Structure 1
Amino acid sequence: MSGPHRTAIVIGSGFGGLALAIRLQSAGIATTIFEARDRPGGRAYVWQREGHVFDAGPTVITDPACLRELWALSGSEMADDVELIPVEPFYRLVWNDGTRFDYAGDNDVLERNIAALEPRDVAGYRRFLDYSKGVYREGYEKLGAVPFLDFGSMVRAAPALARYQAWQSVYSAVSRHISNDKLRQAFSFHTLLVGGNPMTTSSIYALIHHLEKSGGVWFARGGTNRLVAGMVALFERLGGTIHCGEPVQAITHAGKRVTGVITASGAHQADMVASNGDIVHTYRLLGDHPRGRQAVRRLERKRFSPSLFVVHFGLEGHYPEIAHHSIIFSDRYGPLLDDLYKHGVVAGDPSLYLHHPTATDPSMAPPGHSTFYALAPVPNLAKGDVDWDAEAERYREVVFDRLEQTVLPGLRDRLTVQFCYTPQDFTQDLSAHLGSAFSLEPTLLQSAYFRGHNRDDHFGNLYLVGAGTHPGAGIPGVVGSAKATAGLMI
């Protein structure tokens, strides 16, 4: 059955849900999105406060080609809806001893910066770049948008993954080529941006380095929320419908098929249902059906990625010396990761990601002011027994202390607005299992076939999209998952 007679419901309007809905609607499938929150975007939510635009995240846009493809499906141009601005350097890395390292997109600049820390590592970096290119080809180009629905598909991919020693960690792969301790951190921290521990995440994820090198790091003018708005505009122009503030309360089913969803406004039927919601939450929506109960039990035994503690704040003045993206490293790289992933300890010396969008786009703050957010990875709610309502104010001061000691001396004197976002907020606003910010942890045994399948194994017309499915979290990951899922649905 094809053409305009088919209908689909997409639960949730994160990047995965929007990308999927655009693909379905472009293929002539009448698609409706139900979004629980008052505006679209999922994790890419936005707040406007006192003239500042605060993006919830994600704020690092890589692989713009995977986004442009969504507009090209209907012969339109992404540039009509969204302006992407290149960010340079990609990241500025900062250590407590005052060392600064610009992780530059320009290769000559990057190699000069590597040589300044350790001349012998320039050759090692080139070898690592070759390795990253290889895993990008095998892991992303060939497998990124392929649905792994059966174990055979995993076995067929195995020789390529074995050739790149996928059982090794990203940190081990980097350390094989690079000797300097700070440079090892510089080229392995990326997995944290998708919820993975550099010490245990499969070295396949080293592909992120090549993804950035080849496609650049970008920022949407006006913030990530403008990319969301552009996707919604495209979807609606194609004839799609989106309902915000309407959480799905249940997925209805008969036999081996799902029949639609129930929201506050009633029952809604469709030929197919796809969920961009949290994967555990999605299976709970099946009510007391054995398939839902069994999936929830199985998922609850898996390892979920950490959560995040985010402080959004506005300051008086401009800060040209602070890059758009900064990573501020703790002195304890490995032990800090153990605290986060194994021991469930909320660190007193967190590594931070500092986002400074006004470095690229001054319109993100009122005149004469700057917009920031500082993000500290923290244990998810299974690991750490923390009452974040009580802890948030204390931990905000820990974060501000770190910033004042490293890149923003006198921060508190110029503070005009601030608010925090905690693991509890992830649970409450996004139904995120354990407050996890990136769904399932991207370990080798929770990747590809071992992640959520893009089509459910029991209900033939129930589909999944987003961070909990293959290939995983991050904008390219969830947009890739939408391509895999759309291929099955269309």
Structure 2
Amino acid sequence: MSDDRAIVIGAGLGGLAAAMRLGAKGYAVTVLDKLDRTGGRGSAITQDGHRFDLGPTIVTVPQVFEDLWADCGRDFRKDVDLRPLEPFYEIRWPDGAKFRAGSDPAQMLEEVARLSPRDVKGFQRFLKDAQARYVVGFEGMVAKPMHRLIDTIKVLPTFARLRADRSIYAHASGRVKDEKLRMALSFHPLFIGGNPMHVTSIYALVAHLETRFGVHYAMGGVQAIADAMADVVRAQGGEIRHNTVADEIILTDGAAQGVRLDDGTEVKAPVVVSNADAGYTYDHLLRNHPRRRWTDKKLSRKRWSMGLYVWYFGTKGTADKWADVGHHTILNGPRYKGLLKDIFIKGKLSDDMSLYVHRPSVTDPTVAPAGDDTFYVLSPVPHLGWKNAVDWAAEEPVYRAKVAAEVEKLIPGFQKHISTELVFTPETFRDRYLSPHGCGFSIEPRILQSAWFRPHNVSEEARGLYLVGAGTHPGAGLPGVVSSAEVLGKLVPDRPRRAGYERLAAE
């Protein structure tokens, strides 16, 4: 092709990573995004002096960012201040039991022994299992194209040997007997929208990721990473257009030709990359074109990730209070399996809940005014696609009171210190991010909704159309969405470098 233009729909982390890789390959990139700042679900909102990181808060595999920056002639560590966290997080149960996860293997064994002495050997076996699954599931598949069925077929014998047909919870149960420890070893798929009772045991690899690479926080939040990515895109000569809504992907004779905006304006390019949710891409952006595989019926049969209820709030004069509450805390409700069944199988909003509490102000003083705190509390809830979906306009105040009662057990008296607050429900995710059913993480990462079975990075619906982000291979989470752009880089042909690109490497 003589035309070196490329369009990226969406300035989330996947879209920005795609734009960086296309820019490095010589393309003139235009990024279109409906929000007023970069980052998508990884963006932030500043309100009354508090910065609320809206989505992801943990960086588990810094190498995916370092490799991305290096391929663009830059040094990630010079652009982003990444801090290792210790401990990674603390898990708490209603009976007062606690489990701290961290980088020191000896301390981790002590934590296991304190919780369940009989499970120490089983825990060590689980870590060995995690390493084996990391080699196959992460090193072997994450950053590799999986749009050919043969590529998935090749790994089936190894998957069978590793019992990928078993859920991560079933696998943890086969190694340890204590129910609390089973939860601590199996809950991680919730961070990418998966039900631990059904997501494959391959996701045990997360335990190895934490052990090998650690858990990190970007000073300035994930928004700082997104802003640094946008700086690279612009340095490459790319353009990012905010408050710009893509309404339809233009096709001619089965090939992408550009994007039509909601005001009727057309932006032309022979390469179109969608960082919009895969379901939204096929259901809305290609609504006027025939589809062979990703029809409305096919999408409706998929299992989707849960929704999220997120309460963001700032507290005044509390920086020295609640000294035992760290950066990341997970509060378990009285049920684990039953609550997951309500959320993922029944679509029922339960009275009980498990919560993730984020307190970045213990690490990053820029998130709040001096002496104050910034929090967010996240509760997994059913998405909006169920027959009797939750009416959040009516339910939100009631549910907030229930959440507050649980948070009070961790940070007593917090409500009288609240100075500002903001709430996201699945309806917010639907409207703000155009997420099907208001899901937090697109299609659920079950084994038959992964790799070849997931929407492909190169679309079979139109030539020149590619997909990145949580809804495509390899899936949700920061390593996943950034790696989806690495896959894209292996599929899109290089272009002759444009004049001025070389200045990037010199900056």
1:92 aligns with 2:95: no
Partner of 2:501: none
Deviation at 1:297, TM superposition (A): 2.5
Tell me, in whole angstroms, the C-alpha distance in 2 between the residues paired with 1:484 and 1:23.
10
Q: How does 1:10-25 map to 2 (within 5 A)?
A: 10-25=8-23
Partner of 2:400: 396
Sort the Cα spacing of 1:88 and 1:231 in 2 relative to 1 into closer, same or farther, 3 A: same
8 Å contact from structure 1 (residues 310, 421) kept in 2 = yes
Deviation at 1:320, TM superposition (A): 2.9
Partner of 1:193: 191
8 Å contact from structure 1 (residues 305, 437) kept in 2 = yes
Q: 2:369 aligns with which of 366, 369, 377?
A: 366
Sort the Cα spacing of 1:412 and 1:292 in 2 relative to 1 into closer, same or farther, 3 A: farther
Q: 2:152 aligns with which of 150, 154, 157?
A: 154
Of 448-457 and 408-417, more deviation after overlay is shown by 408-417
Matched residues, number: 487
State the one-letter code of the partner of 2:10: G
1:288 aligns with 2:288: yes
Partner of 1:320: 323
Q: Would you identify which runs of 4 or more consecutive aligned residues in structure 1 move more than 2 Å?
A: 292-297
Tell me, in whole angstroms, the C-alpha distance in 1 between the residues paired with 2:238 and 2:485.
16
Tell me, in whole angstroms, the C-alpha distance in 2 between the residues paired with 1:297 and 1:240.
37
Partner of 1:252: 250
Per-residue CA distance 1:434-464 (angstroms, 9 max, x = gap): 0011000111110111101111113121111
Partner of 1:347: 350
Per-residue CA distance 1:23-73 (angstroms, 9 max, x = gap): 110111111110011111111121101111101011111100001111111
8 Å contact from structure 2 (residues 7, 273) kept in 1 = yes
State the one-letter code of the partner of 1:53: R
Per-residue CA distance 1:344-386 (angstroms, 9 max, x = gap): 1112111000001011112211011100000000000012521
1:124 aligns with 2:128: no
Deviation at 1:79, TM superposition (A): 2.0
8 Å contact from structure 2 (residues 119, 177) kept in 1 = yes
Partner of 1:30: 28
Tell me, in whole angstroms, the C-alpha distance in 2 between the residues paired with 1:339 and 1:113.
30
Q: How does 1:126-145 map to 2 (within 5 A)?
A: 126-145=124-143
Sort the Cα spacing of 1:435 and 1:292 in 2 relative to 1 into closer, same or farther, 3 A: farther
Tell me, in whole angstroms, the C-alpha distance in 1 between the residues paired with 2:191 and 2:153.
28
8 Å contact from structure 2 (residues 122, 175) kept in 1 = yes
RMSD: 1.3
Tell me, in whole angstroms, the C-alpha distance in 2 between the residues paired with 1:432 and 1:12.
12
1:303 aligns with 2:306: no
Tell me, in whole angstroms, the C-alpha distance in 1 between the residues paired with 2:279 and 2:14.
16
Tell me, in whole angstroms, the C-alpha distance in 2 between the residues paired with 1:225 and 1:369.
20
8 Å contact from structure 1 (residues 9, 260) kept in 2 = yes
Tell me, in whole angstroms, the C-alpha distance in 2 between the residues paired with 1:380 and 1:231.
30
Partner of 2:429: 426
1:411 aligns with 2:414: yes
Tell me, in whole angstroms, the C-alpha distance in 1 between the residues paired with 2:53 and 2:249.
31
Partner of 1:446: 449
Deviation at 1:419, TM superposition (A): 1.5
Q: SS at 1:290's partner residue?
A: coil
Tell me, in whole angstroms, the C-alpha distance in 2 between the residues paired with 1:87 and 1:348.
32
Tell me, in whole angstroms, the C-alpha distance in 1 between the residues paired with 2:485 and 2:109.
36
Q: Which TM-score applies when normalising by structure 2?
A: 0.94
Q: 1:483 aligns with which of 465, 483, 486?
A: 486
Partner of 1:382: 385
State the one-letter code of the partner of 2:291: R
8 Å contact from structure 1 (residues 320, 359) kept in 2 = no
State the one-letter code of the partner of 1:483: E
Sort the Cα spacing of 1:400 and 1:144 in 2 relative to 1 into closer, same or farther, 3 A: same
Deviation at 1:265, TM superposition (A): 6.8
Q: SS at 1:72's partner residue?
A: helix
Tell me, in whole angstroms, the C-alpha distance in 2 between the residues paired with 1:295 and 1:11.
20
Of 349-358 and 144-153, more deviation after overlay is shown by 144-153
Partner of 1:277: 276
Tell me, in whole angstroms, the C-alpha distance in 2 between the residues paired with 1:241 and 1:288.
28
State the one-letter code of the partner of 1:426: F
Deviation at 1:210, TM superposition (A): 0.8
Partner of 2:502: none
Deviation at 1:416, TM superposition (A): 1.3
Deviation at 1:292, TM superposition (A): 7.8
Tell me, in whole angstroms, the C-alpha distance in 2 between the residues paired with 1:9 and 1:226.
23
Q: SS at 1:37's partner residue?
A: coil
Deviation at 1:80, TM superposition (A): 2.2
1:469 aligns with 2:472: yes
State the one-letter code of the partner of 1:269: K
Q: SS at 2:295's partner residue?
A: helix
State the one-letter code of the partner of 1:311: W
Name structure 2 gaps, 5 residues minimum. 494-507
8 Å contact from structure 2 (residues 42, 223) kept in 1 = yes
Deviation at 1:145, TM superposition (A): 1.1
8 Å contact from structure 1 (residues 305, 436) kept in 2 = yes
Q: SS at 2:240's partner residue?
A: strand
8 Å contact from structure 1 (residues 396, 420) kept in 2 = no
Tell me, in whole angstroms, the C-alpha distance in 2 between the residues paired with 1:232 and 1:296.
33
State the one-letter code of the partner of 2:328: H
8 Å contact from structure 1 (residues 286, 292) kept in 2 = no
8 Å contact from structure 2 (residues 293, 460) kept in 1 = no
Per-residue CA distance 1:371-405 (angstroms, 9 max, x = gap): 00000000000125211122111111111100112
Identity %: 41
Per-residue CA distance 1:109-160 (angstroms, 9 max, x = gap): 1111111111221211111001011111101101101121122111111112
Partner of 1:71: 69
Deviation at 1:294, TM superposition (A): 5.2
